Amino acid sequence: MQILNEKANQNSGRKQRIIDCDVHVAPKNAEEIRKYLDPRWRTQFSLRGRDLYHHPMNVNRTDSVPPGGGGPGSNPEFLREQLVHEYGIDYAILLPRPFSNPMPNANYATAICSAYNEWQADTWLRDYNYDEVFRGSILVSTQDPEGSVRQIERWAGHSQFVQVLSDSGSRAPYGQKIYYPIFEACEHYGLPFAIHAGADGIGINTQPTIGYPTHYIEWGTLHSISYQSHLVSLLIEGVFERFPKLKVVLVEGGVAWLPTLLWRLDQLYERFAEEVPWLHRKPSEYMRDHVRLTSQPIERPDKDRDLVKKLEFMDAEHILMFASDYPHWDFDSPKHAFPKLPDRMRQRIFFENAKELYKLK
């Protein structure tokens, strides 16, 4: 893999500005979250036991455990050392992972999100954010639309929260009307709705594949199935006609599948447009105005030119945003994630697209 246009940057004398759109932070221990929970939920809460597929070694980088204790992503100074300072990150978009979407008790799920949001606001967005490099995500559980709206209303005025976040695992595709109150609130407050891989087929959530895969490698390969399901649903159900200012971010679902999916969808739309009369454009034509994808885990073919061509097919210059997925095992370094890219495409993927979406400087 080639270092990202290093020579071009040296010749221009300018540092490539970078916004990392997928940085996972975590509490040092369960007590950090419990203290924000209503007393009736505290004894139930644990940081473990809400996942189905486990990495056979460890989901986190072996070097990401802070030397002073705590888990990966729990120490702000160690995170700065390994990510922000190492790679010159201008902004890190934080995505804590409560994994509350699988829970059948919607009230408990929202209570966990509420506690995580308070914890995030008090720590990473206030006490730890002296250099203002961190930006947060308002966590919601989509099985509780009313509770999700309350969380959005509560935190939308906080200048350091830049998006609303939930799991790809859900009870139904996100284009269905049960989720419209969440999208209405996102649109009203100008906050993108981000979907992160996880919680599929667990608890109350539907499994997007045919049955349950056996191995972690299968599950990891098939991440994109959830995203394809949600994206087609959002496009065909007319969510972007109903909410014309809504933006949706697909985080950690891969990217190479997108062009062929849209080709197929547009082809079928030409034949079945009368079935969805609320659409006024081809499905693919909503993408630039409404959808963004993050780059990690980016698929790397043997020939770099094949990836560049794929990025051109998917309009990456306007819809793709860089993400490292720190501190996970499949971390993508800004220096090595991409082959040599056209200057304009590189600039927009690594900085401009996220800057515009999240209204950053």
Task: Work out how many domains the chain is built from and give that number.
Answer: 1
**Dist. CA 23–CA 54, nearest whole Å:** 20
pLDDT for the residue 226: 94
| Residues in Cβ contact with 200 at an 8 Å cutoff, skipping those fewer than 6 apart | 167, 168, 169, 206, 207, 208, 226
DSSP letters, 101-139, are TT-S-HHHHHHHHHHHHHHHHHIIIIIT-TT--EEEEEE
List of the chain residues with pLDDT < 70: 1-14, 48-58, 61
Say if CB 25 and CB 94 are below 8 A apart.
yes
Say if CB 294 and CB 334 are below 8 A apart.
no
Residue 351 lies inside a defined structural domain of this protein = yes
Segment 131-144, tens digit of pLDDT: 999 999 999 999 99
Report the SS3 class of residue 171.
coil
pLDDT for the residue 3: 40
Closest CA to 161 of 360, 352, 302, 334: 360
Residue 105 lies inside a defined structural domain of this protein = yes
Say if CB 326 and CB 83 are below 8 A apart.
yes
Residue 237 lies inside a defined structural domain of this protein = yes
Residue 233 lies inside a defined structural domain of this protein = yes
**Dist. CA 191–CA 168, nearest whole Å:** 18
The angle that helices 145-155 and 180-189 make with each other, rounded to 10 degrees, is: 10
pLDDT for the residue 72: 86
pLDDT for the residue 45: 86
Kindly list the distances between the CA atom of residue 20 and the CA atoms of 245, 255, 351, in Å, as whole numbers in the listed order: 24, 16, 8
Say if CB 187 and CB 246 are below 8 A apart.
yes
Cα-to-chain-centroid distance, residue 218: 21
| 227: CATH | 3.20.20.140
Helices (H), ranges, 76-222: 76-79, 85-87, 106-122, 145-155, 180-189, 216-221
Residue 33 lies inside a defined structural domain of this protein = yes
Phi then psi dihedrals of residue 297, to 5 deg: -90, 110
Residue 1 lies inside a defined structural domain of this protein = no
Report the SS3 class of residue 195.
strand
Closest CA to 235 of 265, 204, 193: 265
**Dist. CA 134–CA 360, nearest whole Å:** 11
pLDDT for the residue 56: 53
| Residues in Cβ contact with 269 at an 8 Å cutoff, skipping those fewer than 6 apart | 276, 279, 282, 283
pLDDT for the residue 326: 95
Angle at 21 between CA 19 and CA 26, to 5 degrees: 120
Beta partners for 24?
none
**Helix, strand, coil tally for the chain in percent (to 5):** 45, 10, 45
Report the SS3 class of residue 100.
coil
**Dist. CA 144–CA 48, nearest whole Å:** 22
Residue 182 lies inside a defined structural domain of this protein = yes
Token pair for residue 67? 């030397």
Tokens 């300072």 belong to which residue?
85
Domain of residue 187: give its range: 6-358
pLDDT for the residue 258: 97
Residue 224 class from Cβ within 10 Å (0-12 exposed, 13-18 middle, 19+ buried)?
buried
